[in-house]
Structure 1
Amino acid sequence: MPTPPNQLADRNPAAAPDAARLEEVRPGVHAWVQPDGSWWVNNAGAVGGAEGLLVIDTCATADRTQRFLTALADATGGAPIRLAVNTHQHGDHTYGNSLLPAATVLIGHEEMREGLRTDFIIDGCPAFWAPVPDWGPIERRLPDVAITASTTVYVGERRVDLLHPGGPAHTTGDLVAWLPDDRVLFAGDLVFAGLTPLVFMGSVTGALAAVDWLADLEPEVIVPGHGPVLVGGEIDRVLNEHRRYYEFVLALAEGGLARGATPLEVAGAVDLGEFAGWADAERLVLNLHRDYADRAGQEIDLVAALCDAVTWLGHPMPTSV
């Protein structure tokens, strides 16, 4: 088995919580960008209107979420947070929900709500990651409004379409926040800019189809779930990278199944090629487990998949959270 990248050494040292920044991508539309975007270090955002804000996602820890909310209050003169939406169930986008004002109406897909309701990691993170994250003083807070497909909300006069890709992609309950008048797309984890995508709780084929679905919106700005904000030609470049990566995973899975190899064995023999420089490369193992399970018509064994990812890497998965 080739030696996986030493991600502990390759981490961006500017990944501390105070490295995060609030970027105004359109007047009144903000992206909260957290370097280095690897495990548990996500992006969030907010959309402003005459009477308040819509917040898009929170962060994994109380500290990181509070930094986001404080920066947002400073930038908007303390505008009230009327609405919030979670793009999916994962804790880096949801664990900070309980720091939102009690009066904020929280929206999520019904599959996302159920996923967070049954999530055990919020109660104590297992040692698949190092250092083991400490979420801080947070509580499980579920959406008040659960939608089954898509809906539209208004922040003052600003229209925000909350759209579901139509099937499993990153997870089964993904939503994006699309501002059609501003051409701004908050893509959640349907887009990882410069990092290895993760779909082990969704679908590789669904994630591939979702790339075209996102492109058809013709956004001028994409705020990805992880990584820098994308504009102009960066959008096509990153979406095309996603297409090639998912096709790469599907081809590996097909070949591995044909010769009776396990996901770990397939990943152990592979040359990552153009994707070798991406952080969190061990997600290949998780994504292969996903596609193997889907082809067999079975549920994925999440614990076995995570164990294999750690085995491939040779140590727990690093995080900067």
Structure 2
Amino acid sequence: MALHEVVPGVHAWVQPDGTWWVNNAGAVADGGQVLLVDTCATETRTRRFLAAVDEATGGGPIRLAVNTHQHGDHTYGNSLLPAATVVVGHEHMREGLRVDPVIDGCPPLWEPVPDWGAVTRRLPDVTVRDRLTLHIGQRQVDVVHPGGPAHTTGDLVAWLPRERVLFAGDLVFSGLTPLVFMGSVTGALAALDWLAAFEPAHLVPGHGPLLTAADIPPVFDGIRRYYQLVLDTAGEGVRAGLTPLEAARACDLGEFAGWADAERIVPNLHRAYADALGTELDVVAALTDAVAWRGSLMPTKV
């Protein structure tokens, strides 16, 4: 894991290999002050991130922190931020974290079962519905919602228009299997065009390697093809009367078989089925089926 300076004063915290619970985050510094984009899943990983930011930015106060969505790999470390830091998130993200039971004890679906350490639930102080402009020193950071469910129902990106740096959160997985079971497959697909319209020079994905302008089109095209495979597989499975797990077992992942966390085809199909049939998604059932598809617990390096 390392802190990369994307452009002067704008940093990306990249944690290989970006699989379950191992996320990217960021920091924007100017005028002796700092804005963070996300934290990390565990106490240990968040403290490493904060120490790296402190060293790179000269120890300026962390005035603001933006959560790109509710999932614990991006939010559980919120409680380790200074009390004076103002945390910003989407209104749906705040509610999702408020009722999230996983921070109190992770279900035994991963190997090893993650130990979060000394973190507690810390919710955003400020919530966003559509967009909000923040300022840190002389830098402008636009915090924007894609307009509907995508990775989750409460996604935000952090966009630096002058520097043309986009912190995309989990709307982008770079080089590994995306996860959309708490959002929308079609919404996540549409969000790729929305992200491309920013025309970023640099994009920090929620997981995986950093992207430059030249990297973005092929990466986005691969993600589009994956989402289309999920939608096609779900449509065929519904028509054939298959369960999501049965449809996943019948699915040829093809070019995506080598992507890390391939078992996410199962919860992604659970989402596509729920949207097609107008039913509620059972998160635990979706993840339990992912374990069944793998034939083992899901691995994590958190």
Q: Give yes or no for TM over 0.5.
A: yes
* Pairing 1:280-291 to 2, within 5 Å after superposition: 280-291=261-272
CA deviations over 1:101-143 (Å, ceiling 9, x no partner)? 1100000000000000000000000001110000001111000
Q: Which residue does 1:134 correspond to in 2?
A: 115
* Pairing 1:37-56 to 2, within 5 Å after superposition: 37-56=18-37
Q: Which residue does 2:158 correspond to in 1?
A: 177
Q: Does residue 318 of structure 1 match 2:299?
A: yes
Query: Does the 8 Å contact 2:167/2:205 carry over to 1?
Result: yes
Superposed displacement of residue 156, structure 1 = 1.2
Superposed displacement of residue 234, structure 1 = 1.1
CA deviations over 1:207-257 (Å, ceiling 9, x no partner)? 000000000110110000000100132111111111111111101111111
Q: Does residue 254 of structure 1 match 2:235?
A: yes
Q: Which residue does 2:278 correspond to in 1?
A: 297
CA deviations over 1:244-303 (Å, ceiling 9, x no partner)? 111111011111111111111111111111101100000000000001001111210111
Q: Does residue 203 of structure 1 match 2:184?
A: yes
Query: Does the 8 Å contact 1:52/1:81 carry over to 2?
Result: yes
* Pairing 1:165-244 to 2, within 5 Å after superposition: 165-244=146-225
Q: Does residue 152 of structure 1 match 2:145?
A: no
Q: TM-score, normalised by structure 1?
A: 0.93
Q: Which residue does 1:65 correspond to in 2?
A: 46
Q: Which residue does 1:95 correspond to in 2?
A: 76
Please give the alpha-carbon distance, in whole angstroms, between the structure 1 residues aligned to 2:173 and 2:166.
13
Aligned residues: 302
Superposed displacement of residue 304, structure 1 = 1.0
Q: Does residue 33 of structure 1 match 2:11?
A: no
Please give the alpha-carbon distance, in whole angstroms, between the structure 1 residues aligned to 2:30 and 2:239.
54
Q: Which residue does 1:10 correspond to in 2?
A: none
Question: Any idea what SS the aligned residue of 1:166 has?
Answer: coil
Question: Any idea what SS the aligned residue of 2:94 has?
Answer: helix
Runs of 4+ with >2 A deviation? none
Please give the alpha-carbon distance, in whole angstroms, between the structure 1 residues aligned to 2:32 and 2:44.
27
Please give the alpha-carbon distance, in whole angstroms, between the structure 2 residues aligned to 1:297 and 1:276.
29
Query: Does the 8 Å contact 2:6/2:12 carry over to 1?
Result: yes
Q: Which residue does 1:14 correspond to in 2?
A: none
CA deviations over 1:41-61 (Å, ceiling 9, x no partner)? 000001111140110000000
Q: Structure 1 counterpart of 2:194, which letter?
A: W
Q: Structure 1 counterpart of 2:130, which letter?
A: A
Query: Does the 8 Å contact 1:51/1:155 carry over to 2?
Result: no
Q: Does residue 279 of structure 1 match 2:260?
A: yes
Query: Does the 8 Å contact 1:170/1:199 carry over to 2?
Result: yes
Please give the alpha-carbon distance, in whole angstroms, between the structure 2 residues aligned to 1:221 and 1:314.
38
Please give the alpha-carbon distance, in whole angstroms, between the structure 2 residues aligned to 1:90 and 1:57.
10
Question: Any idea what SS the aligned residue of 2:120 has?
Answer: coil
Structure 1 unaligned residues grouped into runs of 5+: 1-19
Q: Structure 2 counterpart of 1:175, which letter?
A: L
Please give the alpha-carbon distance, in whole angstroms, between the structure 1 residues aligned to 2:287 and 2:47.
29
Query: Does the 8 Å contact 2:79/2:119 carry over to 1?
Result: yes
Q: Does residue 78 of structure 1 match 2:66?
A: no
Q: Which residue does 2:247 correspond to in 1?
A: 266
Query: Does the 8 Å contact 2:192/2:220 carry over to 1?
Result: yes
Structure 2 unaligned residues grouped into runs of 5+: none
Percent identity of equivalent pairs: 69
Q: Which residue does 2:142 correspond to in 1?
A: 161
Which of residues 99, 123, 131 is equivalent to 1:118? 99
Is the deviation greater in 57-66 or in 239-248?
Answer: 239-248
Q: Structure 2 counterpart of 1:155, which letter?
A: I
Please give the alpha-carbon distance, in whole angstroms, between the structure 2 residues aligned to 1:288 and 1:145.
33
Q: Which residue does 1:11 correspond to in 2?
A: none
Please give the alpha-carbon distance, in whole angstroms, between the structure 1 residues aligned to 2:129 and 2:3.
31
